[in-house]
Amino acid sequence: MTPPTPPTPPASPEPARSRVRVTSPRTSAARTRNVSIASEIDEQTRLGEVYITSLMRSQLRLALGVLLVLASTLGLLPLLFTAVPGISDVHVLGAPLPWMLLTVVAFAEIIGLGWFYVRRSERNEDTFSDLLDGR
C-alpha cells in the first residue's frame, strides 16, 4: 500500500501561501472564534475597539450620573436660597437650615456618592474582564 500522495500544491508559488480549504464547504455553519477578545483589542480591530468603547461608555455614564446627582442637589442650593429667602428661619437641631445643608448633609452626600461610585465602577470592570475571560 503506498501512502496517499499529498495534495499537489498549485502551480504558482504565490497563491500557495494563501489558505487552502480542505473541509467540506458548509458555508451555513457558524464560524468558530479562534481569536480571543484580548487579542482583538491588541490588534486594534473594530471589534476590539467596540469592547473598549463599551467599557469607557459604561464608566463615563456612571461618572456623569454622579455629576448629575451632585449638580441637581448641591448645585441647585444657591438657586434654592435665592428663590426661598425665608429658608434661614427654618431651624434643624438648633441651626438654620442652610448651615445644616452646607455642612453635615453636603459632606454625607459627597461620601455616599463616592462609595456608590467605587462599588459600581468596580462592577463595570468585573463585567468587562468576565467578558474577556469567558472566551
Partner 1 sequence: MNNSASIVAVILVSIASLVVGAFGLRLSRTMSDFYVASRGVSPVLNASAISGEYLSAASFLGVAGLILARGVDMLWLPIGWTAGYLLLLVFVAAPLRRSGAYTLPDFAQLRLESVVARRVSSLLVVAIGLLYLIPQFQGAGLTLRTLTGAPSWVGQLAVAVVVCLNVLPGGMRSVTLVQAFHYWLKLLALLTPLFLLLGAVGDRTGDPDVGAVFVRDWVEPLQGDHALYLTYSLVLATFFGTMGLPHVVVRFYTNPDGRAARRTTLSVLVLLSAFYLLPVVYGVIGRYVASDLVAAGRADSVVLELPSRLFDGPVAEGLTAVLAAGAFAAFLSTSTGLVVSVAGVVSQDLVRWGAGHRQGIRTFRLTTVAVVAGALLLTVVSAGVPVAHAVELTFAVAASTFCPMLLLGIWWRGLTSRGAIAGMVVGGGLSMGAVVTTIFGIAAGGWFGVVLTQPAAVSVPLAFATMVLVSLATRSRAPEHVAQTMVRLHAPEHIDLNRGSFHPERWYRRPPSAEVTADGTQHPAYDRAGETARRPGTTARRG
88 binds partner 1 per the rule CB under 8 A: yes
73 in contact with partner 1 (CB under 8 A): no
Q: Which is nearer to partner 1, 16 or 88 (CB)?
A: 88
CB of 93 to partner 1, least distance (A): 14
When the beta carbons of 16 and 47 are compared against partner 1, the nearer one is 47
Tell me the β-bridge partners of 92: 95
Retrieve residue 8's grid coordinates. 499537489
Task: Measure the CA–CA gap between 13 and 5, rounded to whole angstroms.
Answer: 19
Q: Is 113 in the site for partner 1 (CB under 8 A)?
A: yes
- CA-nearest of 110, 126, 9 to 59 is 126
132 vs 36: CA distance, rounded Å: 8
62 binds partner 1 (CB under 8 A): yes
16 or 67, CB closer to partner 1?
67
